[in-house]
Structure 1
Amino acid sequence: MAKEDLIQFEGVVQEVLRDARFLVKLDNGMDVAAYASGKMRKFRIRILAGDRVTLEMSPYDLSKARISFRHKETRRPAGAH
């Protein structure tokens, strides 16, 4: 399947499961099982519960997904109100 055929969604990691898998709640309310992409594993990007992620899904199986990006949290500097 070509990369152009994949559907992208955003969601929040609800739970870290066994075998480097994650339970992700999509913005539309659907829950999917996901795994980290190869580049994320290669560069050891940690994914924790509560992280906002971008997922790629096949149009043929919408119950499984690959996490392609972990969004950085927007944190305020210390002392800013």
Structure 2
Amino acid sequence: MEENQPKTNRKGFIEIIGTIEELLPGASFKVKLETGHEILAHLSGKMRMYKIRLLPGDKVKVEMTPYDLSKGRITYRI
């Protein structure tokens, strides 16, 4: 499997790498994926709990459900 291909984890979510493009109100972010698509993503609960800050240009790991590929959850800052 190639490095930039999306992977699925055990719960069926698609994990893919992206870059923060824009900060939006309410802890939301516009993320540009490695595939070229732009999605709307929010922080996961653990990242909020530990107050992980994100800035435009940061690389992140995003989880997406296969049912709605326009939204996602940021789970890790790379």
TM-score (norm 2): 0.86
Q: Which has the larger radius of gyration?
A: 1
- Aligned-residue sequence identity (percent) comes to 47
Report the alpha carbon displacement of residue 52 of structure 1 after superposing the two structures with TM: 0.2
* Higher mean displacement: 3-12 or 32-41: 3-12
| Number of residue pairs matched by the alignment | 70
Mind listing any 5+ residue stretches in structure 2 that lack a counterpart?
1-8
Moved over 4 A (4+): none
- Provide, for residues 1-41 of structure 1, a one-character-per-residue CA deviation record: whole Å limited to 9, x for no partner: x9521000101000000111000000000000000000000
1:20 corresponds to which residue? Answer: 27
Extract unaligned runs of 5+ from structure 1.
72-81
Distance 2:75 2:26 in 1: 17
**What is the aligned partner in structure 2 of residue 45 from structure 1?**
52
Cα RMSD between the aligned structures?
1.3
Q: How far apart, in 2, do the equivalents of 1:11 and 1:55 lie?
A: 7
